[in-house]
Amino acid sequence: MKPVIGLEVHVELKTKSKMFCRCSADYFGKKPNTHTCPVCLGLPGALPVPNKKAIEWCVMLGMALNCDIPQFSKFDRKNYFYPDLAKGYQISQYDEPFCLKGSIKLDSGKKIGITRVHMEEDTGKLIHETTEGEDVTLIDFNRSGVPLVEIVTDPDFDNAKNVLDYLKKLQQIARYLNISNADMEKGDMRLEPNISISTNGELPDYKVEVKNINSFRFVEKSIEYEIERQTNLIKESVKPTQETRGWNQAKQKTVTQRIKEESSDYRYFPEPDIPPIRWTKSQISNLKSQIGELPEEKLKKFKENYKLSDYDAEILTREVIQADYFEETVILGKKYGLTPKQIANAIINRRVDLEKILPAKLIEMIISAGKTDKVNDETLRKVIKEVLEDNPKIAQDYKKGKNSVIQFAIGQVMYIIRKKIDTEILRKLIMEELK
Amino acid sequence: MKINVKHIAKLANLPLSVEEEIKFEKQLLEILSYVEKLKKIDTKNAKITSQITGLENVTSEDKASPSLTQDESLSNSKSNHNGLFKVPKIL
Amino acid sequence: MSLNTLSIKKAREGLSKRQFSSVELVRACISKIKERKNLNAFITVCEKEALEKARQSDKKIKDRIDLPLLGIPISLKDIYLTKGIRTTAGSKVLDDYIPQYNATVVKKLEDVGAIIIGKTNCDAWAHGSSGENSDYGHTKNPWSEAHVPGGSSSGSAVSVAAKMSFASMGSDTGGSIRLPASFCDVVGLKPTYGRVSRYGIVAMASSLDSIGHFTKNTDDSALMLSVTAGKDLNDSTMPSKNVESYESYLRRGVKGVKIGIPKEYFALGLDKRIKDNVIKSVKSLEKEGAKIESISLPNTEYATACYYIIQPAEVSSNLARYDGIRYGSARQNFGDEAKRRIMLGTYVLSSGYYDAYYKRAMQVRTLIKKDFDEAFKKVDVIITPVSPTLAWKLGEKTSDPLLMYLSDIYTVTANLAGIPGLSVPIGFIDDLPVGMQILGPQFSEGKLFQVGKAWENINL
């Protein structure tokens, strides 16, 4: 029995305006229903006008996931009724999305197929409450119409850890491209895994969709719970019901949300109010050139070109701002004979506030920290002899082959002299005295 | 030819009475059998026309414009609370 | 002569010459509206607002401000959103809806001085060919109150025919301007799809809706189009075609113009008297120098079936927003015709039926457009009857939806092909008005006015 998992992730783009109207898309924390207009409120007579930047960012994300970008693409209407869906249909993409057939490699080396990446609009927000004794649902349309990119993977995952790795990588790419904050807790990255268990190596004939996984913390837990739930059912010869389940954070389990008696008939048809998109070759190559280095490439470069350790390289490339800062400092530092390793150490160990300390200042700090005081050899030898006499164990351990004891000696000398001395000179002198 | 009027009405979010269901089933069947005449044409090689203008690539720059005020947004709703539209609780 | 019988052009002249005031024009229209209240042409009359606007217009005229429609009362089909003025789309669902914004066309008209005298009655949601589907009672034909005025822009046609307004804005998705124009003895223009902005007008079928108008004559029609036409950034389906000087076409005459007569529009089912009338009219244009040519539009017989798949499909989606939450009342309040079309549309888009119905209809649409493209390689314009029958009696077709749909057989083709059509009066049969329509390639409205005006001159 093997879990078969495919993911649907929605990423909310941080454009200035919404997907099909020019209301501000910066809706978080704003007074309800203050970022609406005839278009996103679904008033009679309103018409959509697509956001160019949102479309470009969707394509760039697809490119970062190694997708094909078809020359021709269009929008379609997805028809269904729900109170948070102002028009009674969502403008989305059905059979001719912006990006197709991509892939991404996980840390484990496993390759995940990306089925498609497409553009759609977000819905309003529902709040369930009891006011004045009534059980009600309240609706805020500020979020209605905000651009969403949907990334669908092939059912290539077989465990929760891989899913977490994928999400982290996707989040990193979105942040590198600077198209979204991709923050699960804030709702600008949303995950819907489709989980089933294969008993015979074939693709199962059912799948369970899990909703409401709202933070990175619960991704692994929720998926593992569902895998176990389904596995147990199958062990008892019960086929899991094809349904949508919700992750209940309080109870730490998935619960039935609605059983799909019939899979929803969305009656997709081409959106008549929006002309299709046709790309020229130069437009595509232009977008590609805007992408810059992605996390995977940067990591490779940091390890190979800058000769950083895996650990250091991973930390420095986690966020593009830090990576860029590092590279800028390396270029500057070259003039002063500083190595990438020194700069990496300084950034990582000293936990430098990159916003407050400019690269030039950081270099100054590294240099002054590395400056050593000049003390003449005679004075040094005198102090070394003193230390060796006071600490006979040093000579004993050194005879036994414990070389680390030299470091201790260096420390003791520096403590007495109270000056920063070139450790290489000290080491040489100490070893001479020990002989 | 049969139509599942109940199912269609559900998809269309149209509550119908039993009398309406019967009436509409008859009328819809009549209309559908008229439009069946399209089956007589050979459309094998015809492209689809979903838009008659031939336009492509119509988009807008990403610039924010003023929105409706909260009052304007709510002005025609019969039920609202604290600036939000209100409906009976959705299960 | 009563002021409300003037054309827009004559009214503008008179206003500029200070022969009368805009207030007098508005008063004349209001008085006519009240006098023939029983025609039920209006859902909302804006008497107070119109008089106030008229007073302001008179001030501007005194200051020698000259705008194309300054001081002229016009009416709007009640699907045009007017900010602060009730807009119902002829349906109880929107009985108390007060729009929060203006349609682009409304803004354009007001910017050039037009005065909105009221919102006209129509088939609810523009669904109908007779005016009998309005939730506010049917509109009556001023020429014979026992007969239908045509629809769905019934009130608009009547408001011009009965001299209640100098022009009226309507919409034409399958003939809803041209048909009532021909039944009411007025000029009706369906422009090219995408010529006039749809923003702020209740959508019926998004790929078919054409925004046009009714006037007393061709000159006024050209004037109205020069105001309403032009690209709107809020509507993504408008080609960037320059708005021509339509005036310049009005004096060109019809010499050398090639007129196509498609045999499919003159076949079985057409009232012989209408056929004879249209042919006679075309022959008189020939006398003025036009060249007549027999053509064929072979896929015409499939057009109505094609239309009654595509249009309800788009209707079913466009009416989904009316859920009573943000505005309007519950979906139960949709009338029968709306419910019928919503369900028909839902069916033809539904899983398992999409390919056989909607997709197929989209393919047939390509063939119908091609017919016109081929024809317009040979001729400049095409002339056909507007309706196969005279205006029918009220109640005659209301129990047979399919029979009602078949009234559209000559008009739906222009909507499917996206081309413009001008309906002009050609006379009376049995005391009922008859019209003919002049069709042209996309963006050829100038040519239509040219031929329409030439016909008018013969007919004077």
pLDDT at A261 over 60: no
* Domain co-membership, A192 together with A306: no
Q: Mutate which of A269, A271, A274, A277 to test chain C, going by most C C-beta atoms within 10 A?
A: A269
* Domain co-membership, A69 together with A167: yes
Residue whose token pair is 């079936």: C305
Provide the domain count of chain A: 3
| Amino acid residing at C99 | P
Would you state the structure tokens that stand for residue C92, as one six-digit string?
């109880």
pLDDT of residue B36: 94
pLDDT of residue C397: 94
Q: How far apart are the first and last CA of chain B?
A: 36
Instruction: List, as ranges, residues 71-100 from A with C-beta within 8 Å of C.
Output: 77, 79, 81, 83, 86-89
How many angstroms separate the CA atoms of A426 and A429, rounded? 5
pLDDT of residue C1: 63
Residues of chain C where predicted confidence (pLDDT) is lower than 50: none
How many angstroms separate the CA atoms of C387 and C406, rounded? 10
Asked which of A330, A359, A388 is the last residue of a domain, the reply is A359
Which CATH number do you get for residue C143?
3.90.1300.10
* Domain co-membership, A65 together with A190: yes
The DSSP-derived string for A181-226 is ---TTTTSEEEEEEEEEESSSSPPS--EEEE-B-SGGGHHHHHHHH
* Domain co-membership, A192 together with A311: no
* Domain co-membership, A115 together with A229: yes
Closest CA relative to residue C54, chosen from C28, C24, C77: C24
pLDDT of residue C16: 96
pLDDT of residue A113: 98
What's the Cα-to-Cα distance from C21 to each of A116, C70, C117, C179, C429, rounded to whole Å?
65, 11, 15, 34, 38
Average pLDDT over residues A300-322: 92
Which of A37, A55, A141 is the closest to B59 by Cβ? A55
Closest CA relative to residue A86, chosen from A35, A51, A128: A35
Q: Number of A:B CB contacts under 8 A?
A: 121
**Chain C CB within 8 Å of residue A38 CB:** yes
Which CATH number do you get for residue A338?
1.10.150
**Chain A CB within 8 Å of residue C87 CB:** yes
Strands C115-120 and A189-198: unpaired
For residue A19, is it within any domain?
Answer: yes
How many angstroms separate the CA atoms of C176 and C127, rounded? 9
| Amino acid residing at A341 | K
pLDDT at A248 over 80: yes
How many angstroms separate the CA atoms of B74 and A34, rounded? 10
How many angstroms separate the CA atoms of C408 and C391, rounded? 12
Range of the domain at A352: 293-359
Starting at the edge strand found earlier in the chain, the sheet holding C167-172 runs: C42-45, C115-120, C73-77, C167-172, C210-215, C187-190, C421-429, C432-439, C381-385, C258-262, C291-295
What's the Cα-to-Cα distance from C118 to each of A210, C93, C296, rounded to whole Å?
54, 20, 42
Range of the domain at C40: 3-458
pLDDT of residue A260: 55
Closest CA relative to residue A375, chosen from A429, A431, A434: A429
For residue A369, is it within any domain?
Answer: no
For residue A226, is it within any domain?
Answer: yes
Q: Which H helix or E strand runs over C221?
A: helix C218-228
Which of C99, C200, C350 is the closest to A265 by Cβ? C350
Which CATH number do you get for residue A429?
1.10.10.410
* Domain co-membership, A118 together with A227: yes
pLDDT digits (tens, 9 = 90+) for B23-33: 999 999 999 99
How many angstroms separate the CA atoms of C427 and C215, rounded? 16
Provide the domain count of chain C: 1
How many angstroms separate the CA atoms of C130 and A286, rounded? 55
**Chain B CB within 8 Å of residue A267 CB:** yes
**Chain B CB within 8 Å of residue C443 CB:** no
* Domain co-membership, A187 together with A323: no
Mind spelling out the 3-state secondary structure of A12-62? Answer: ECCCCECCCCCCECCCCCCCCCCCECCCCCCCCCCCCCCEHHHHHHHHHHH
- Active-site annotation of C, residues: 77, 152, 176
How many angstroms separate the CA atoms of C357 and B34, rounded? 12
For residue A284, is it within any domain?
Answer: no
Asked which of A228, A246, A278 is the last residue of a domain, the reply is A278
Residue whose token pair is 């006011």: A131
* Domain co-membership, A30 together with A128: yes
| Amino acid residing at A194 | N
* Domain co-membership, A305 together with A402: no
- b vs e for B6-17, b when ≥16 Cβ sit within 10 Å of the residue's Cβ? eebbbbbbbebe
Distance from CA of B83 to the nearest CA of C (A): 12
Closest CA relative to residue C422, chosen from C136, C173, C212, C238: C212
Would you state the structure tokens that stand for residue C77, as one six-digit string?
């089909």
**Chain C CB within 8 Å of residue B51 CB:** yes
Would you state the structure tokens that stand for residue A410, as one six-digit string?
């260096």
**Secondary structure of residue C416 in the 3-state scheme:** helix
* Domain co-membership, A383 together with A242: no
pLDDT at A373 over 80: no
Would you state the structure tokens that stand for residue A198, as one six-digit string?
């294969």
For residue A299, is it within any domain?
Answer: yes
Counting residues of chain A whose pLDDT is more than 70, the rounded percentage is: 98
* pTM attached to this predicted model: 0.92
How many angstroms separate the CA atoms of C47 and A201, rounded? 76
How many angstroms separate the CA atoms of A205 and C36, rounded? 68
Asked which of A325, A359, A393 is the last residue of a domain, the reply is A359
pLDDT of residue A369: 75
Give the angle subtended at the CA of C448 by the CAs of C444 and C452, to the nearest 5°: 170
Average pLDDT over residues A378-403: 87
Report the residue of chain A nearest B68, measured CA to CA. A37
Strands B84-88 and A134-140: antiparallel
Instruction: List, as ranges, residues 233-262 from C with C-beta within 8 Å of B.
Output: 233, 236-239
Weakest-pLDDT range from A46-55, B34-43, C365-374: B34-43
| Amino acid residing at C125 | W
How many angstroms separate the CA atoms of C264 and C453, rounded? 26
* Domain co-membership, A255 together with A163: yes
- b vs e for B20-41, b when ≥16 Cβ sit within 10 Å of the residue's Cβ? beebbbebbeebbeebeebeeb
pLDDT at A259 over 70: no
What's the number of CA atoms in the CB half-sphere (13 Å) around residue C325?
A: 27
Distance from CA of A195 to the nearest CA of C (A): 25
pLDDT bin (cut points 50, 70, 90) of residue A404 is confident
Would you state the structure tokens that stand for residue B68, as one six-digit string?
């409706």
pLDDT at A263 over 70: no
pLDDT digits (tens, 9 = 90+) for A176-204: 999 999 999 999 999 999 999 999 888 99
Report the residue of chain C nearest B7, measured CA to CA. C347
**Residue A208: CB atoms within 10 Å:** 21
pLDDT of residue B66: 97
For residue A367, is it within any domain?
Answer: no
Cα B20 off chain centre by: 19
- With left for phi above 0 and alpha for psi between -120 and 50, is residue C163 left, alpha or beta? left
How many angstroms separate the CA atoms of C130 and C42, rounded? 15
pLDDT digits (tens, 9 = 90+) for A141-163: 999 999 999 999 999 999 999 99
What Rg, from alpha-carbon coordinates, does chain A have? Answer: 30
**Strand partners for A68:** A100
Helical spans, DSSP H, in C267-393:
272-287, 303-318, 336-349, 360-378
**Chain C CB within 8 Å of residue B17 CB:** no
Average pLDDT over residues A426-432: 84
Under an 8 A CB cutoff, do C235 and A77 touch? no
Mind spelling out the 3-state secondary structure of C117-140? Answer: EEEECCCHHHCCCCCCCCCCCCCC
* Domain co-membership, A394 together with A338: no
For residue A257, is it within any domain?
Answer: yes
C117 contacts C46 by C-beta, under 8 angstroms:
yes
A277 contacts B56 by C-beta, under 8 angstroms:
yes
Q: Mutate which of A137, A178, A266, A274 to test chain B, going by most B C-beta atoms within 10 A?
A: A137
Closest CA relative to residue A284, chosen from A3, A23, A7, A55: A55
pLDDT at A258 over 70: no
How many angstroms separate the CA atoms of A422 and A426, rounded? 7
Distance from CA of C76 to the nearest CA of A (A): 14
C429 contacts C274 by C-beta, under 8 angstroms:
yes
pLDDT of residue A201: 86
How many angstroms separate the CA atoms of C285 and C291, rounded? 8
How many angstroms separate the CA atoms of C375 and C368, rounded? 11
Residue whose token pair is 């260096």: A410
